[in-house]
Every structure is written in C-alpha cells, then in structure tokens.
Structure 1
Amino acid sequence: MQMSTADFRIAAIFCVLVPFLSASLARAETLAPYKDDLFSGQTVLETADDGDFTRVDYQELRDINGRDSIPERRVKDRYVSLKVRRLQENQTLSLSTGPLEVARVGADAGQAFTVIFIHGRGGDRRLGMNDLTFGGNFNRLKNLAADNGGTYYSPSVRSFNEPGVAEIAALIDHAAAQSGGRPVVLACASMGSFICWGISRDPKAVAHLSGMAVLGGAPDPDLPKSAAAKAKLPIWFTHGSRDSVYAADDQIAIYRKLRKAGEPVRFTLYETGSHGTPVRMSDWRALLNWLIR
C-alpha cells in the first residue's frame, strides 16, 4: 500500500509534533522543581516492594542542627522564599457545615490542583503556614503550590471527630467546585490523621480526592475496608522509626494489608526519626507528583 503525498505530510507533521505534545502533557501533570537540591536529596538506605517502601536516612545533627539557624525554631534563609506570603490570605469560608477558618495560598478559584493540610492536636491554620519552622518544609509546599498554579489550604480544625470530618468534607467539596473538578490532595499529620480516616469512609468526599498523604499518623485497622480502599485512592505514608506516639510498625502493618490487596500505597520510613520528623522531612514534591492524578 502506497502513501500519498498528503498522507506523508500529515504523518511527518504528526511525528514532529508528538514529542512536543507529550512533553507538554508530562509537564502539565508534574510539579516543577523547587529547591530540590535542599529537600529532595535524601539518602535511601533500603527499598522494597518495587520501590513503594523506602527507608531513608535521618540524622538530627544534620537535619535539624545543620538546617536551622535556631534549632526547631528558625530555618536557615536559603531554605525559604518569603515572597509567597504575597499570595497568602486568611479567610473564613461559608461552607455547608458553617464557617471555617482557613489560610490559603494561591487562587480562590480555577486552580490546577488543591492541597489541604490537616494539623494535629493543639494546632490551627497557622501551623501549616509557618515558613520558618519544620526546616522550611511548609514554605516549600506553599511555593510548590503557587508556582504550579495550585491552591494550598491550611484550615483550623476544631475537632478530630465527626464534626471535624464533616467540616473537611465540606472544604474538599468547596475546593473541587472552585477548581472545576481538578485534583484535590488531603494531607494529615499526627492526630489530624483521624480526619483522613473519617474522610476515607465518605464515598462522596473520596470521589473528589486524587490522593492522601499521612505524616506520622495513627494507624486505622479499618482502612482496608473503607470507601477509599474500594476506590483505590492512592495513599502515601511517611513515619519516623522511633515515633513514640504512633508506633511505626503498626502503620507499616496497615500499609502491608493495603498493598497485599492491590491498593496504590507507598511508605517512607525515616530511620531514627521521631513523631515530628515526617512534617519536617517529607518530600512534598515527590508526594504530590505521585498523588496528583
């Protein structure tokens, strides 16, 4: 079968354009680097489960004392860019459950994706907006969202039981509506993980999510039976091996059950890390690139 001149020209144009189109699509699905040399160059001590499980080197002298100008209170200047504060706003959203105080970085509508961070006990919306503590990791998250057309919400959670879960379900619904149905990632730290587990049982909220990140969270034995598991919602756990609040082995056991059932899960274990280590060390760009689908 012979190709006509017109067919040949069309095929030639197609061959030239496809690489550029593919690259454009790849870029649209991936967050651009932001200070990766400072945050992403973590030493992997062990990998398992085809790379889904990683054990990462953590050293307090290097990762706290060497990173902070005042340990645990102020990170060194090179780890942060405070220009993102110009895109930051405190809001009281009127949701179906009532008013909810949030801090927001990025657009109020039309965002390419949304990240919602849930603090632990004793926190409020200020924790997830703190640029200078936790080694500058929240500042990196804020800049990643802003630089890639996303929106980052840090709400004040008033309770970690059913009313708090309902409020965050309403915020997820709000974010999905404001963005036109684009991806929403829910990230929960420490006791905030009870919000993630409550959301995991809500099929409507799960339908709006593209993934979850759980940082030093409590294990949920019922997670493998949840609506999130049935929907195969991607979940990435990060945990310190010496967490004295929620034992790492208990969380790893949940990860193993989910993975055995064919769920899309990943686990990063910070060797010698404590309860707060995942908030300081979790590589937000890696997490979001995997969770934003």
Structure 2
Amino acid sequence: MVAASGSGVQALELASQKDRLFAYPAVLSSSDGGAYRVIDYREMRDINGRDAVPERRVDGRYISTGVRRAQQDLALQTKAGTVRHVAVGKTEGASAIVLYLHGQGGNRRQGVDDFTFGGNFNRIKNLMAKSGGLYLSPDFSDFEARGAQEIAALIAYYAERSPDARVFVACGSMGGALCWRLAQDRVTADRLGGLLLLGSMWNDAFLQSPAFAERVPVFFGHGSEDRVFPVGNQEAFFRKIRSSAKGYPARFVRFESGTHGTPIRMSDWRETLNWMLAQP
C-alpha cells in the first residue's frame, strides 16, 4: 500500500493485519511529544488471556497461517560463509525488507514461529507478505564481528534484488549487539530504514556511527521489570540520542510490569514500521 506523505513524496504504508487485536493497551503516560510512552501491560490479560497455552500457543484469532505458502527455508552462500535463513514474501522486487535477529539461544525458526510470543511473528510475516515486502529470520554464528558480517552479506544480497526497498532490522535481546554493529558499517547503514531494539541493549558508539549521522530511526521496546537489560539504562540511552541531535527520530515504548521478552510479544510492528517508513 502506498500513501502520500506530508511532503508529497510517495511512501509505503504496510497493509493492515489484525490491528485491533495487536493495538497497545492503555497509554499510562506520554512525553517528548509522544516519542516516549508507558503502556499498561498485564500478564494475566496479555499472556494468559491471549494464549490458548500460556507462552506456548496463542489463541487462533491472532494468527493467519496461510502465509506459510510464501515462506521458504534457504541457505545463502556469501563471502562471510553460508547463511541459513527463512524468507517470507518477495525475494526480488520487495517493497521493504525486515530482518529479525534473535537473542542468545535462539535460531532462525524463532522469528517465524506462528504460535509463540502472542502471534506477533505471524503478524509481521503477514504484514510483509500482504504489502509486497520481504521478511527474513536468519541464523548467524555469533553476536560479534563474524555474525555482523554474515548479516551484512544477507542484507546486501536481498537489497541488490530489491533496490527500492528500505531495510529494517529488529534485534531481540542479545541480538542488539548486531544491530549496533550494523549501524557502524557504512554500506549497510546506507540501506537502513530503521533499527528496532526489543528488550535489548544500548551502545554509546552508535552516536558516532554512519547510521546516526544519516538519522536512521530507532525504536526501543522495553519491559520495566527486565532483569537482563535494566530499563533505566535503555531509557537513558534513548534520551541521549534525543539530546544529541535535535528532532532525532527515536521512540521508546515502556511496558509497565513487563519482563525481558515482553517487547517481542507486545511491540506493534505495523505502527512502528509505518512511522519509520514515513521518515524522510
């Protein structure tokens, strides 16, 4: 779906996919002109009331499994090595490209699991397939230089086949180490349309990165009770970004009482990506 932006430039807008079911619960507070929001998260409602089997199988209302027809399990040979990945949607001529990079102990299958995390991965698969886009969930060797090289090679391969597509990288937990490494790579940064940090980490080096210089939008989703990466540190980093460059496109959604995995379950893919797509 294409919509006109305020500047008259045509911008992609992702098609709807169960928007009412995935809309944020009540906003408890908001600041920075809406860039920072605190969301009312409740485990009994948002896990037990949403899943047929809590944390294992979402209620069927939240998913549309027909998208599996557009899903492929692939292996790409690159100079960085073989990159196994699952692709959903158009592998050439895509309108936009979204990657999900898992955290410690995960693999490429996590990002395409239809039933876990409240059906939120099924939603992003459907959003991209319906919008003529491409969704990728890869394996990688580590969260260091080698893993970043593998993901950069994967991005380069698909970006060359979809030259008009912006690339959005979502990083869960420890996967954030790769988000920040990719931001330092000038070639990759030129292709980025946004970074999404989901229950993840901060990195002050981002403020000197090519991605920061190019004002690549950044989204932070974080649970207030995250014991792996304390929310206060991530909030401080968000404010540092905002204060370092006037009007920098950064957003923060704090899920009040949420834990480490809450942002992967609760972050609104469509709202966030449409905001990023609308940026100049």
* TM norm structure 1: 0.90
Could you tell me which amino acid in structure 2 is paired with residue 72 of structure 1? E
Please state how far the C-alpha of 1:282 moved relative to its aligned partner.
0.5
Deviations 1:98-134 (A, max 9, x none): 2100001001111000001000011110000000000
Give the corresponding residue for 1:285: 270
Judge conservation of contact 1:119–1:157 (CA < 8 Å) in 2: no
Give the corresponding residue for 1:4: none
Q: Does 1:37 align with 2:20?
A: yes
1:218 pairs, out of 201, 208, 211, with: 201
Q: Does 1:133 align with 2:120?
A: no
Q: Aligned partners of 2:87, 2:25: CA distance in 1, in Å? A: 29
Match of 1:31, SS? Answer: coil
Q: Measured at CA, do residues 243 and 173 of structure 1 come closer, stay the same or move farther in structure 2, by a change above 3 Å?
A: same
Could you tell me which amino acid in structure 2 is paired with residue 178 of structure 1? R
Give the corresponding residue for 1:60: 43
Q: Aligned partners of 1:268, 1:168: CA distance in 2, in Å? A: 26
Q: Aligned partners of 1:63, 1:21: CA distance in 2, in Å? A: 32
More helix as a share of residues: 1
Q: Aligned partners of 2:17, 2:9: CA distance in 1, in Å? A: 17
Q: Aligned partners of 1:28, 1:259: CA distance in 2, in Å? A: 24
Judge conservation of contact 2:100–2:169 (CA < 8 Å) in 1: yes
Give the corresponding residue for 1:271: 256
Match of 1:110, SS? Answer: coil
Please state how far the C-alpha of 1:89 moved relative to its aligned partner.
0.5
Please state how far the C-alpha of 1:222 moved relative to its aligned partner.
2.0
Deviations 1:209-230 (A, max 9, x none): 1111110111212222222211
Judge conservation of contact 1:120–1:189 (CA < 8 Å) in 2: yes
Q: Measured at CA, do residues 260 and 182 of structure 1 come closer, stay the same or move farther in structure 2, by a change above 3 Å?
A: same
Give the corresponding residue for 1:109: 92
Match of 2:196, SS? Answer: strand
Match of 2:204, SS? Answer: coil
- 1:72-83, aligned counterparts within 5 Å? 72-83=55-66
Gaps of 5+ in 2: none
Judge conservation of contact 2:3–2:12 (CA < 8 Å) in 1: no
Judge conservation of contact 1:211–1:235 (CA < 8 Å) in 2: yes
Deviations 1:15-72 (A, max 9, x none): xxxxx9959x888521121101100142111110011001001000000000001000
Judge conservation of contact 1:241–1:270 (CA < 8 Å) in 2: yes
Judge conservation of contact 2:24–2:268 (CA < 8 Å) in 1: no
Could you tell me which amino acid in structure 1 is paired with residue 266 of structure 2? M
Give the corresponding residue for 1:173: 156
Q: Does 1:84 align with 2:67?
A: yes
Q: Aligned partners of 2:215, 2:107: CA distance in 1, in Å? A: 30
Q: Aligned partners of 1:28, 1:22: CA distance in 2, in Å? A: 6
Give the corresponding residue for 1:51: 34
Q: Does 1:153 align with 2:136?
A: yes
Q: Measured at CA, do residues 142 and 26 of structure 1 come closer, stay the same or move farther in structure 2, by a change above 3 Å?
A: farther
Q: What is the aligned-residue RMSD (CA, Å)?
A: 1.7
Q: Aligned partners of 1:77, 1:26: CA distance in 2, in Å? A: 38
Q: Aligned partners of 2:38, 2:4: CA distance in 1, in Å? A: 33
Q: Aligned partners of 1:112, 1:284: CA distance in 2, in Å? A: 16
Match of 2:203, SS? Answer: coil
Match of 2:91, SS? Answer: coil
Could you tell me which amino acid in structure 2 is paired with residue 276 of structure 1? G
Report % sequence identity: 44
> Does 64-73 or 216-225 show the bigger shift?
216-225
Give the corresponding residue for 2:216: 233
Please state how far the C-alpha of 1:203 moved relative to its aligned partner.
1.2
Q: Aligned partners of 1:271, 1:147: CA distance in 2, in Å? A: 32
Could you tell me which amino acid in structure 1 is paired with residue 78 of structure 2? L
Q: Aligned partners of 1:21, 1:199: CA distance in 2, in Å? A: 29
